[in-house]
Amino acid sequence: MKEIKPFASKIWLSSPTMHGEELKYMQEAYETNWMSTVGKNINEVERITAEKVGRKYCVGLSSGTAALHLAIKVCGEKLYGQPKVGHGALEGHKVFCSDMTFDATANPIAYEGGEAVFIDTEYDTWNMDPVALEKAFEIYPEVKLVVIAHLYGVPGKVDEIKAICDRHGALIVEDAAESLGATYKGIQTGMFGTVSILSANGNKIITGSSGGMLLTDDEEVMNKVKKWSTQSREDAPWYQHEELGYNYRMSNVIAGVIRGQLPYLEEHIAQKKAIFERYKAGLQGLPVRMNPFDEENSVPNYWLSCLIIDESAMCKQVRGEKEVLYISEPGKTCPTEILDALAKYNAEGRPIWKPMHMQPIYRMHPFITAQGNGRARTNAYIDEGAVADVGMDIFRRGLCLPSDNKMTAEQQDVVIEIIRGCFDE
């Protein structure tokens, strides 16, 4: 490999990109003293987001996680009724959930006392496998709620999953935290759940520094979520409470940042797409593939560019609970070696989100693959050549590449050269 100098300033995985209008709206909030959880910025974020996605109602909340919590809770109450205080809405109930996702997708099921049953991933879009979902309904026909995510901004197999859920009378909570702006058959993600959510966390395609949005077409759901998010105050002269409350409402200052970012969503997507295409072209000829999507039916938002290494080009890599070792081999590599190389030159990549069924916190939960019940899983299986399921395999062979929209083409060419160097003979 020819001499490469480390980047003078770090190349990030995905960092906030501001444009100026954010400051204007924050300042407006400041100068008019709407510094709380009420104000024009919140109203505008809700209006513009609902319109952009195509949903009737949007509720601005403090985070995507808060939005998921209330989405899952409201579905739980729809299905099983209002729980007693101190009890969750899903107690005694199983919920099907995407397995290869960020843990914020799954945790709110536990907040409400439910048990997540993790559904394995498919190779076509790296999202929930409809075949495994159908298997899960065979094993647990009583389940009435399914939580799906669109990983890295790539829409999952929406039609297949919706058809299965309809057939079994199950509601869907759609986690579109990573996929704002992505479409499936021309329809925006965020349209496919009974309740759907978005995130405006610092590393997402647009950001408020934090923040989340809940989307629904159901007026009752919208009203309930709004009420719960502001401590469940009843319409009375004093603080009157009939239900459990939360402090989950979006701040009008944060909303100012999101409001300033929303007009730049399409520009960010175009930049992310260019990054994806540049990797795809630049890595051609290597035994790797970019993260796939359904080119006929879906348009991702290209939030993160990822790659997966062919099995034949994997060197030995052994992951323990928190540490990893690998053995370099000429012509071969592994995600760890590539991540190490990137870090050496001051660029940030990341392993694929470690599947939920492999996480210590969820290891005892049921896990369903296309073959049925997933077999017992221990770290021994993460070893080379002992792959039990799709999620584990993608985690083992895949990684997220630096995907920051402020990375220049020249910088990206260097990143590509660093990756190519890992496959040198």
Ligand X SMILES: *Cc1c(COP(=O)(O)O)cnc(C)c1O
Sites of contact with ligand X (CB under 6 A): 63-65, 101-102, 104-105, 149, 175, 177-178, 199, 201, 212
- Report in angstroms how near the CB of residue 336 gets to ligand X at its nearest: 22
- Report in angstroms how near the CB of residue 152 gets to ligand X at its nearest: 9
Closer residue to ligand X, CB minimum distance, 199 or 251: 199
Long-range contacts of 277-285 (CB under 8 A, 24+ apart): 278/409, 278/412, 278/413, 278/416, 279/305, 279/307, 279/401, 279/412, 279/416, 282/412, 282/413, 282/416, 282/420, 283/307, 283/416, 283/419, 283/420
Its sign, for the CA torsion 124, 128, 130, 132, is positive
Closer residue to ligand X, CB minimum distance, 177 or 222: 177
Its sign, for the CA torsion 179, 52, 171, 124, is negative
Given a contact cutoff of 8 angstroms between Cβ atoms, the answer to whether 403 and 275 are in contact is yes
Closer residue to ligand X, CB minimum distance, 102 or 228: 102
Q: Give strand ranges (E) for 20-69.
A: 57-61
Closer residue to ligand X, CB minimum distance, 198 or 221: 198
Closer residue to ligand X, CB minimum distance, 337 or 404: 404
- Report in angstroms how near the CB of residue 360 gets to ligand X at its nearest: 19
Show the DSSP H helices in 81-111 as ranges: 107-111
- Report in angstroms how near the CB of residue 101 gets to ligand X at its nearest: 5
Residues 6+ apart with CB under 8 A from 178: 102, 149, 150, 151, 152, 153, 199, 204, 205, 301, 303, 304
Between CA 42 and CA 58 the distance in angstroms is 10
- Report in angstroms how near the CB of residue 328 gets to ligand X at its nearest: 32
Closer residue to ligand X, CB minimum distance, 158 or 334: 158
Between CA 408 and CA 413 the distance in angstroms is 9
Residues 6+ apart with CB under 8 A from 154: 125, 126, 127, 179, 182, 291, 292, 293, 298, 300
- Report in angstroms how near the CB of residue 67 gets to ligand X at its nearest: 8
Residues paired with 94 in a beta bridge: 115
Sort strands 145-149 and 171-175 into parallel, antiparallel or unpaired: parallel
- Report in angstroms how near the CB of residue 62 gets to ligand X at its nearest: 8
Between CA 307 and CA 292 the distance in angstroms is 9
Given a contact cutoff of 8 angstroms between Cβ atoms, the answer to whether 224 and 194 are in contact is no
Q: Whose CB is nearest to ligand X? A: 64
- Report in angstroms how near the CB of residue 422 gets to ligand X at its nearest: 27
Closer residue to ligand X, CB minimum distance, 68 or 308: 68
Between CA 318 and CA 383 the distance in angstroms is 5
Closer residue to ligand X, CB minimum distance, 207 or 252: 207
Between CA 131 and CA 128 the distance in angstroms is 9
Its sign, for the CA torsion 320, 65, 254, 195, is positive
- Report in angstroms how near the CB of residue 70 gets to ligand X at its nearest: 12
Closer residue to ligand X, CB minimum distance, 121 or 199: 199
Closer residue to ligand X, CB minimum distance, 63 or 333: 63
- Report in angstroms how near the CB of residue 178 gets to ligand X at its nearest: 4
